[in-house]
A = this chain, B = another copy of it.
């Protein structure tokens, strides 16, 4: 499987790969959870046990986990995992990359026949805590990529997430539910932007940071 897929590092033998992706609506998120505590294994395994991943295809290795399927279910599963891992006072970060449309993507490794409400939505909707988040959006192969980036900056402003531009990223902050909703909306907007065939949205969020900001 691994040798048949591609993004940002293709290894298919026949160049070029452009246009050889899939027409299926497969979104994905590769992510890693970092609980900064000696109990990091318990926290990760405990969160996995609480999270319903039946609506996504999933694979884990020593560096990260990837979920693939329809965007709403991918987002639901990633969000639920982070929320289920939350413990009062424990500093924890989630790093991830949402992506869709890679020219080297394949039609497999996905769940696409799911319908209805996202399986974790009801279970986690009452979990609230503040997060810091940074994000970087990459609309690939589009000469006007900066316009897309600007658009989502204003979306963050409209969502009340106080966007601040920092070198190489945008910072936002707010309730974890609002931040995930925004990340979903950015991906959904890219999905519905005809000039963007392939996008990647990198994000990092954390909670209970011991760093005091001025």
Which residues in A have some Cβ–Cβ distance to B below 8 Å? 2-3, 5-11, 15-18, 28, 30, 32, 34-38, 40-41, 59-64, 66, 68, 91, 93, 95, 97, 99, 102-105, 109, 132-138, 140-147, 149-150, 152-153, 156, 163-171, 200, 202, 204-206, 209-211, 213
Q: Which residues of B lie under 8 Å from residue A205 when comparing CB positions?
A: 63
Pairwise interchain contact B169-A8, C-beta atoms closer than 8 A = yes
Pairwise interchain contact A134-B63, C-beta atoms closer than 8 A = yes
Report how far A37 CA is from B41 CA in the complex, Å. 11
- The secondary structure that dominates the A interface is mixed
Q: Which residues of B lie under 8 Å from residue A97 when comparing CB positions?
A: 136, 168-169, 202
Q: Which residues of B lie under 8 Å from residue A146 when comparing CB positions?
A: 10, 15-18, 103-104
* In-complex Cβ contact of A61 among B11, B66, B166, B168 (8 A): B166
With contacts A8-B149, A36-B34, A147-B16 known, is A134 near B64, CB below 8 A?
A: yes
With contacts A91-B40, A168-B99, A204-B64 known, is A153 near B10, CB below 8 A?
A: yes
Q: Which residues of B lie under 8 Å from residue A36 when comparing CB positions?
A: 34-38, 40
Instruction: Give, as a whole number of angstroms, the nearest-CB distance from A53 to chain B.
Output: 15
Across the two chains, which residue of chain B brings its CB closest to A148? B8
Which A-B residue pairs are the 7 nearest by beta carbons? A9-B170, A8-B136, A34-B34, A36-B40, A62-B211, A62-B209, A11-B165
Pairwise interchain contact A211-B60, C-beta atoms closer than 8 A = yes
Pairwise interchain contact B63-A171, C-beta atoms closer than 8 A = yes
Q: Which of A6, A63, A134, A156 has the most CB of B within 10 A?
A: A63
Report how far A165 CA is from B34 CA in the complex, Å. 23
